[in-house]
């Protein structure tokens, strides 16, 4: 893991990512729901190949940040630069094509579709063929079909899931569904992968395997990963930069050591010393 170097006023990114545009550059992002500041003055910068973590107590607004980055919610204020490009006004689908893919806290696979078809939905924009060529089964259709099939199986092989390709996604065990969601997101060729609690419901050995895989995905695809996670072993194990969110605001940013020893973070998680222990 590289050491983090400070950037003027913006935040931290790994040293190796210094020369290139950060993949994500968020300034003063905020959203209000009927007067409630769900996320307020959120600033974060993520390097091109960084694995970053977003942590915080329940209800702190972590998933809301993901929803803002994918325009599921429209921000009330703030600027988000994805690979240097302002994402304001882009639709959710456009943002995906620009390079953001995500998974969900509660799994949202297309349960009635096969495992392979789930991945191929992710490949939707990667293969172009006209409806005519499909209906008349022209050679270009078959060529594309084969290519899409091979690509889907190749992606499934990241998690050794090729043999499950024909099973309905809803029939997979829980852990496999979580992995399939990651594969489906990767199929859209993201530059930034958002993982919402990838280790939720996993046992320690599964979590260990997941950590290896997240690192391997970053290395193979050379992408940045921002993850929300409650499992501190995972966060402290793989995240380079960590941001702590509480009541919609970032209360601390930095390396694991800085976060672990930060009294504000400890207070947010454990409460203030001497507070009533009722």
Q: Is 77 a binder of other proteins (CB under 8 A)?
A: no
Q: How far is the CB of 101 from other proteins (least distance, A)?
A: 7
Q: Which residues contact 41 (CB under 8 A, 6 or more apart)?
A: 28, 29, 30, 249, 250
Q: How far is the CB of 108 from other proteins (least distance, A)?
A: 4
The residue range among 39-47, 82-90, 100-108, 201-209 that interacts with other proteins, by the rule CB under 8 A, is: 100-108
Q: Spell out, one character per residue from 155 to 184, where the chain touches other proteins: x when CB under 8 A holds, - when not.
A: -----------------------------x
Q: Which two tokens stand for residue 54?
A: 């977003």
* From candidates 125, 163, 220, 233, binder to other proteins by CB under 8 A: 125
Number of residues this chain uses to bind other proteins (CB under 8 A): 32
* From candidates 16, 37, 97, 249, binder to other proteins by CB under 8 A: 97
The residue range among 55-63, 87-95, 216-224, 262-270 that interacts with other proteins, by the rule CB under 8 A, is: 87-95
CA 105 to chain centroid, in Å, comes to: 11
Q: Which two tokens stand for residue 3?
A: 């050491």
Q: How far is the CB of 73 from other proteins (least distance, A)?
A: 11
Neighbours of 54 (CB within 10 A): 27
Q: Is 112 a binder of other proteins (CB under 8 A)?
A: yes
* From candidates 58, 106, 203, 205, binder to other proteins by CB under 8 A: 106
Cα separation, 38 vs 61, in Å, equals 6
Residues 195-254 that bind other proteins (CB under 8 A): none
Cα separation, 98 vs 65, in Å, equals 18
Paired sense of beta strands 36-46 and 4-7, if any: unpaired
Q: Is 102 a binder of other proteins (CB under 8 A)?
A: yes
Cα separation, 222 vs 203, in Å, equals 27
Residue number, 135 or 276, with CB nearest to other proteins: 135
* From candidates 33, 127, 174, 269, binder to other proteins by CB under 8 A: 127
Spatial contact of 185 and 103, defined as CB atoms under 8 Å apart: yes
* From candidates 74, 91, 233, 261, binder to other proteins by CB under 8 A: 91
Q: Which residues contact 196 (CB under 8 A, 6 or more apart)?
A: 62, 63, 66, 102, 103, 104, 105, 227, 228
- Among 24, 48, 57, 50, smallest CA distance to 246 is for 57
* From candidates 1, 85, 93, 147, binder to other proteins by CB under 8 A: 93
DSSP conformation letters of 130-147: -HHHHHTT-HHHHHHHHH
Give me the residues that bind other proteins (CB under 8 A), please: 70, 72, 91-93, 96-97, 101-102, 104, 106, 108-113, 117, 120-122, 124-125, 127, 129, 131, 134-135, 184-185, 187-188
């Amino acid at each position: 893991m590289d050491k983090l170097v400070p950037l003027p006023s913006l935040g931290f990114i790994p040293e190796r990512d210094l020369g290139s545009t950060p993949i994500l550059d968020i300034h003063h992002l905020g959203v209000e729901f009927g007067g409630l500041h769900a996320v307020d003055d959120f600033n974060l910068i993520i390097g091109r190949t960084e694995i970053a973590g977003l942590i915080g107590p329940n209800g702190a607004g972590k998933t809301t940040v993901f929803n803002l980055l994918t325009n599921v919610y429209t921000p009330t204020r703030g600027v988000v630069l994805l690979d240097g490009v302002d994402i304001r006004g882009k639709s959710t689908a456009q943002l995906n094509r620009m390079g953001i893919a995500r998974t969900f806290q509660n799994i949202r696979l297309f349960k009635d579709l096969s495992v392979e078809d789930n991945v191929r939905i992710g490949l939707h924009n990667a293969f172009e063929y006209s409806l005519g060529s499909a209906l008349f089964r022209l050679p270009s259709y078959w060529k594309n079909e084969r290519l899409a099939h091979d690509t889907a199986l190749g992606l499934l092989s990241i998690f050794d899931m090729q043999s499950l390709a024909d099973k309905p996604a809803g029939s997979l065990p829980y852990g496999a569904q979580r992995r399939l969601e990651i594969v489906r997101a990767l199929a859209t060729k993201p530059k930034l992968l958002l993982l919402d609690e990838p280790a939720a419901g996993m046992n320690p050995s599964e979590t260990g395997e997941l950590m290896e895989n997240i690192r391997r995905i970053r290395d193979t695809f050379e992408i940045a990963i921002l993850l929300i996670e409650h499992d501190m072993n995972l966060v402290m194990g793989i995240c380079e930069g960590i941001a702590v969110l509480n009541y919609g605001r970032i209360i601390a940013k930095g390396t694991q050591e800085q976060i672990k020893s930060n009294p504000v973070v400890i207070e947010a998680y454990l409460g203030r010393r001497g507070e009533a222990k009722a």
